[in-house]
Structure formats: C-alpha cells, structure tokens
Structure 1
Amino acid sequence: MLPSTRSLLARRHEATPKKERKRKKKTGEFSNGWRGGVAVVRERGVDSSCWFAPGALRRMFELPAPILSRHQLKRLEEHRYSSSGRSLLEPVMQRYWEWLVRRMPPWIAPNLITIVGLATNIFTTLVLVYYCPTATEQAPLWAYLLCAVGLFVYQSLDAIDGKQARRTNSSSPLGELFDHGCDSLSTVFVVLGISIAVQLGSHPDWMFFCCFSGMFMFYCAHWQTYVSGTLRFGIIDVTEVQIFIILLYLLAAVGGSALWQSPIPVINIQMKIIPALCTFIAVVFSCTNYFRVIFTGGVGKNGSTIAGTSVLSPVLHIGSVIVLAMMIYKKSTVQLFQKHPCLYILAFGFVSAKITNKLVVAHMTKSEMHLHDAAFLGPGLLFLDQYFNSFIDEYLVLWISLILSLFDLVRYCVSVCNEIASHLHICVFKIKPQSTAEAVE
C-alpha cells in the first residue's frame, strides 16, 4: 500500500533539521505543507493551490522561460491605473452596475467574474459561427437573441469586476491586465458576431474592413495609453458601441435576413451596409483622437512613450497583422477569405489579441515592445504557402494557423498571469484570505 500524502509530509518534516526549516520559512524557498486536509505546494511564498490546472497541463500551457524580467515585475508592482473621460451612457449604466455588484458574493474573485463574462460572449458567438460559417446564412432567431444576451452579460460583468475588486480589497495590477486581456479577445468575437448577424459575408471587403477596424481601434486605444500613460474614454465609447450592437442583434432576431437585404429608398443601398458605414465613421472619429494623443501626448523624454521608446514603434505590430491579412486575402486563388471568413477572422484575431496583450504589458511595465513574436508564425505559414503557389491546401493551412495562433495566445496569457500572481503573492481566480494559516512544520 502506498503511504498517504500526510504521512509523507510528516516524515519529511521529521527528517528536516529545525534550523533548515527556519531558513526555508524565512527565505520562502520551495517547501511542502498540509492545510485543511489538502496537500499544498508553496514556491516563493505563493500557494499554488490557486491554480486549477494539473501540473502536466499547466506545463503544456506555460512557457519554459519567464516572459517578464525582475525589473519589469518591479515596475508592474508600482503601476497605478489612470483613466480620464466619461462616455455618454456611463452615468446611466453606473446605477445598474452598482446595483449588480452589490448582489455579488464577496468570495467571488474579480478575475473570475471577467472570465465568466468572456466565456459567455465567446460561446454565444460560436453558436452564430456554427450556423453561419460564411456569414451569409440565416441563423435561427434564438441564436441572435442569445448573442444579444451574451454581449449584455459580458458588458455587465466586465463593468463590475473592478468594483468587485475594490469592494473586496483585492485590486492589483494583475486585475487590470486580465481585464484588458479579456477585452482584446472579446473584441474579436464581437466584431465577428455582428458581421455574421447582418450577413456581411456577401460583401467581403466590407466585412474585412469592419472586423479589422474593430481590432485596430482597440489596439489604438492602448497605443495612446502606452504613449500618454492614461486610458482615455470618449463621449461615444465602448459602452455605446456594445449597446448599438445589442440592438442590431435584436433587429436581426426580429427582421431576419430580409431586413438586411432590403434596399434603402433614395440612396439605394442594402440595410446591411449601414452598420459598415457607421464603422467607417467611428474609425475616422476615433483614430483622429487617438493619433492626436499619440503624436502630441508622449509623457516620456522628448515626447516619447512612458517606456522612453518611439511613439510610432507599436505600429509595426498591428501594421504587420493587417498587411499580412490583406495580402493573403487578395492573393488567394481559392478565395480563402470569401469562403471561410469566420475562420480567417479568428486566426488573425488571435494574433491581434496577443500583440494587444503585449502592448498592455509594455505599458504597465514601462518596457519596450519587441517585433519578433511567435504569434506571426500562423500568418507566416499562410503567406509562404501562397508564395510557393499553394502546394498545401490553403484551407488546411488556415486551420493550422488558427490553432497555432490560439495556442500561442493561451500560452502567453497563462505564463504572464502565473508570473505576476507569483510575484504579487496572489491567486488569479481566488481571493486570498487576509490572514492564512501557516503550513504545518
């Protein structure tokens, strides 16, 4: 019979000299303990029981080498959130959000609220992707209603995670990074979902523009934050855009495909083009404000970023994504984007989410962004396949690109969250008790 975990720990305790135990306790070195009938592994003073994944699974989704240096972690610890401005509907929505957060149990971690909202938004959008893979089909009416509810749930939970953190005294730089990271991924699914809902796949150029414009604007919002150190909100911002999209989902549920295909009198364009034109106006308006800050609002030396780098340096990352996406779209001999727009947007969307997360990390750690990144491996494979006359089926390479991009995004996010949580001595999805019992010696 194998000895129990408790007996093993007891034997190890007896075999360890008292001075050695005191030294390990003082330095926070790797040690084992028992708490509440559950074996606990402590490394650098952090209780790893805050992680849900088994050891083997965690190693698979965690990079072997640290991403953040000791100096970056130190600057992250000193980071303070800064924002300015208020959108048009925010004062009205604040009443609802304040009411909602009071209904949240105090033991629910803010990051858990955020991830539940993100998962809800992703699931409801994937339902639309299942029914409308080319963004031209008619989905069941309940699918559009489900997406409207899913986006509203995401908006609500995303708005109260910070309030829950302050309410439970668990605010940390990890919470800010986790929130923005989930937003970067949610943006991909939101722009894809609404493009499907209005059946924009019949106009592939417009669909490409709308989806990549959404990703680009979200990136620019954090680009100007990297330059100025402050996240700025406009009169028309994310809250208003999300409510507008919810209304479009409801219209799709009521009117069906006939609504978006019906022509508008006088101007003689289909209804589905109206959301695309609204996107174009939003891009012009938002980018004007963003680039005004980028070119004139640098708080570093000689007007540089907060990291002391060029204010134009982040353009290389998002520019590479958009240029590669456009080249592959236009060069494809099998009409890859036209036939598989959802897979295409997701494959490049995961890359966009990854580099946006890197930008947020660079801002919070006051460090430089490096261009070389494994995220570009997937798009690079698509580009090389086309360069060599598509000797491998482009559809197969697209799937490989999507899987690689998603895996790289997940590995990066898991690794960064692990490193920050370990450094700050906190858990990602649990609220650490104010006073914890020490491990048995």
Structure 2
Amino acid sequence: MSGSYLTKEQRDGFQKYKYASRDTSPLAVYLMHPFWNRAVKVFPMWLAPNVMTFVGWVLTVAIFLVLTFYDPFLVAAGSDDKSHEKYNIPQWIWIFIAIAHFVAHTLDGCDGKQARRTNSSSPLGELFDHGIDSMAIWLITVCAYSLFGQGPMSLTVWDYHWIMIVVLLGFYMAHWEKYITGVLFLPWAYDFSQLILLGIYLFVYIFGLEFLKFPLYKDIRLTHFFKWTTHLCFFCIFFPLSLRNIYKSKVEKTDRGLSLVEALKPGVPLFSCFALFTIWAYYSSSNILQINPRLFFTSFGIVFSNITCSLIVNTMSHQKCKVFNKMFIPLIIIDVALLVFRFNEVYVLAVYTFVIGCIHVDYGIGVVNEMCDMLKIRCFSLAPLN
C-alpha cells in the first residue's frame, strides 16, 4: 500500500456521519429480524462484528471457489455436449453450499446487531459491511449460474450477462438512493433471493440438477423462470419503490438537496462499466463470454465493487460522487483494440482481472486502515488501541 486513500475532506466528513437506514421488507420485519435477534445471542460479547462480516464473505468466496473447481466454464448443469462430461458437480457439494450460504446470510444479518449489542457501532462497520456486500453480490450471482449452466436446455451466457447487470443495478440503486436521500432503504429482494437460493440448493441436493430442467410449459423451464423473475422483480418492484422513496424525500425535503445533475452523477461510472464490458463481450475475437464466462464475470464484478465502494465512501463522507474510475482505462484500450484488431484476449482478461483484483484489495485495506487510525479503533477486535 502507498499514499493516502481518503482525502482530508472525506476524513472530516466521516467524523460527522450518522447512520440512517430503513428495512421495510415484510419478510425481514416479521421473519428475518426476529430470527437474527435470537441468533446474535449465540455469539460471545468479545467478538467483533467485522469478524462476522468477514467470515460470511469468506464462506461466499469458498462456495465460489468450490464451484469454480468443479464447473469452471458454467457447463456442468446445462450442456449436453459430451466434451463437457468431465465437468460434474458431486451431489454432496450442494449440501455444503447450502449450509455455507445459510451461515453467510445469517452472519450478514447479525453483524449489525452484534455491533449494537457490544456498543461498537461505527462508520467503519457500515463501510466494511457494505463494501464486503458489493463483492458478495456478484459472487452469489455467479454461484447461482452453476445451478443452471449454459446449454440448449438452459440459458445462454448472454442471458447471464443481462441478469448480472440487473442484479448489480439493483444493489447499486440502494446506495445511489442513499446518495440522494441520505437514508439507506434496504432492498426487499435481498432476503427473498437468499432464502429462495437456499431452497434451490437444498432441492438440488435431494433431487439433483435435473430438477431444474423440468419443463413448466412446453419449452419453458425453471431456468427461464429464474431469468424472467429476476428482471420482473427489479423493474416491477424494486425500481418503482426506489423512485417512490426518492420522490417522497424530495417532497418532504428530507433529502440531501442535490441538484439534478449531481443526483444523476452516480449513474455515469455504473453505466460506463456496463457499457465497456458489454462492448468487450460483443466484439470479442475469441468469444470471451462463451469460453470463459466465470473469469469475465469476476472481472466485471471487481470493477463494479470498486465503483460501489467509491460511491459508499463519498456518500458517507458527504462528498461528491466521482464519475470516472481508473479501472476503465485498460477497458477502454481493450475495447478500442478489439474494434480495430482481432486477437485472442483470454490472457489479457486473466492479467486484467489479476491486476484490478490487487488494486481493489489494496484500496480496501488502505481505506480500512485509515478509518481505524482516524476513529482510534481496531477492525477485527473490540480491544481499545493503546
């Protein structure tokens, strides 16, 4: 690590920050929160909430790595090609994944309650939690793709690409909404999707992946239901609710008072990210989205997470959103090169993913360390600094 990761204005802004959130999801209010209120009592009082957040993320990464080992190209579930027969996900893996998924979701729901229980709430805890979530969201999505795979009886990689965009847009919208209103309205879809995914993992463990190929009507299968449900939930439920919250805050004058131009700024880096990766996939000489979708989505997810973390930092510190991300520079060069030349960019993607992964980790560690120094606390311990 080198240099300063937070400006003086950001550090000053964090000193004045007050957390404000609302969780109006009926599932969260009547089921999940009562469960988490009981579950958090299992954890010892000396356990730092950030440890719970981090362990939950590690479990999500573990699921991703296990499925990457058995199904690196997302072909185990959906393809009938005999050349893909070597990619087979053992049945017992799904019960491990179900347990890890449930524990990770529970830890994510309990970490904030543990912070209040131990009187250790701080801006660092919120930043750490939501920063980790920005990585977990795309990891969970790619893991779900291994349930369905790509093939004639399932979905195409382009279907998965658009699903990824919708899922990431849904997550980002919550923080974009907070940038405008000053309040984090927790997405309704999150807990619903986590419980549904848990149920699917358990069903697949019992009945096998063939269960998901069951035709609902003619050639319409459960995989298609997954695709259209994802899109409909965002455009018919989440997006209208988000617009309603923004409109209500404007009418009641409880928002941050941003101009229209300033309020729209967070969309610039997000849609630039979507556009740059879509252009790469569309003009790829080697059909990169088809031959290595997992690596492509990993690269996509890392850039998205970096953009989201930047927005979270600027929102919490009451600073203006940045409209350009340095990770775009290689993407722009790659896209221009693909429009002019034809070359196999598989190794380019691998190098790019590794480099931005290192940059993002460095950024995350740097911001956390500076926050710890500023607030005089430890990230993974409740013990006071000497």
Q: What is the CA-CA distance between 1:97 and the residue it aligns to? A: 1.4
Q: What is the CA-CA distance between 1:400 and the residue it aligns to? A: 1.1
1:207 to 142, 160, 165: 160
* Residues 59-90 of structure 1, C-alpha deviations (whole Å, 9 max, x = no match): xxx2x221222232122121111112421222
Instruction: Please name the residue that 2:83 is paired with.
Output: none
Query: Is 2:16 aligned against 1:107?
Result: no
After TM superposition, the structure 1 = structure 2 runs for residues 25-36 of structure 1, keeping only pairs within 5 Å, are none
- 8 Å contact from structure 2 (residues 285, 345) kept in 1: no
- SS of the counterpart of 1:432? coil
Q: What is the CA-CA distance between 1:378 and the residue it aligns to? A: 4.6
- 8 Å contact from structure 1 (residues 148, 246) kept in 2: yes
2:138 to 176, 182, 188: 188
C-alpha change, 1:305 and 1:240, in structure 2 (3 Å) is farther
Residue type of the alignment partner of 1:372? F
Number of residues paired by the alignment? 370
- 8 Å contact from structure 2 (residues 148, 212) kept in 1: yes
- 8 Å contact from structure 2 (residues 315, 321) kept in 1: no
Runs of 4+ off more than 3 Å: 291-309
Structure 2 gaps of 5+ residues are 77-87
C-alpha change, 1:316 and 1:295, in structure 2 (3 Å) is farther
- SS of the counterpart of 1:430? coil
- 8 Å contact from structure 1 (residues 307, 367) kept in 2: no
Query: Is 2:24 aligned against 1:86?
Result: yes
Q: TM-score, normalised by structure 2?
A: 0.89
Q: What is the CA-CA distance between 1:312 and the residue it aligns to? A: 0.6
Residue type of the alignment partner of 2:12? K
2:373 to 409, 412, 422: 422
Instruction: Please name the residue that 1:7 is paired with.
Output: none
- 8 Å contact from structure 1 (residues 362, 369) kept in 2: yes
Residue type of the alignment partner of 1:67? Y
- 8 Å contact from structure 1 (residues 125, 189) kept in 2: yes
- 8 Å contact from structure 1 (residues 124, 143) kept in 2: no
Instruction: Please name the residue that 1:130 is paired with.
Output: 69
CA distance in structure 1 between the partners assigned to 2:334 and 2:50 by the alignment: 35
C-alpha change, 1:430 and 1:212, in structure 2 (3 Å) is same
Instruction: Please name the residue that 2:82 is paired with.
Output: none
- 8 Å contact from structure 1 (residues 264, 271) kept in 2: yes
Instruction: Please name the residue that 1:65 is paired with.
Output: 3
Residue type of the alignment partner of 1:217? G
After TM superposition, the structure 1 = structure 2 runs for residues 197-236 of structure 1, keeping only pairs within 5 Å, are 197-200=147-150, 202-233=155-186, 236=188
Query: Is 2:202 aligned against 1:250?
Result: yes
CA distance in structure 1 between the partners assigned to 2:11 and 2:140 by the alignment: 32
- 8 Å contact from structure 1 (residues 377, 401) kept in 2: no
- SS of the counterpart of 2:92? helix
CA distance in structure 1 between the partners assigned to 2:3 and 2:181 by the alignment: 31
* Residues 174-195 of structure 1, C-alpha deviations (whole Å, 9 max, x = no match): 0000000011100011110111
After TM superposition, the structure 1 = structure 2 runs for residues 395-406 of structure 1, keeping only pairs within 5 Å, are 395-406=346-357
Residue type of the alignment partner of 2:239? C
Q: What is the CA-CA distance between 1:293 and the residue it aligns to? A: 3.9
- 8 Å contact from structure 2 (residues 181, 249) kept in 1: yes
Query: Is 2:232 aligned against 1:281?
Result: yes
Query: Is 2:110 aligned against 1:160?
Result: yes
Q: What is the CA-CA distance between 1:360 and the residue it aligns to? A: 0.7
Query: RMSD in angstroms over aligned alpha carbons?
Result: 2.3
CA distance in structure 2 between the partners assigned to 1:163 and 1:371 by the alignment: 34
Structure 1 gaps of 5+ residues are 1-61
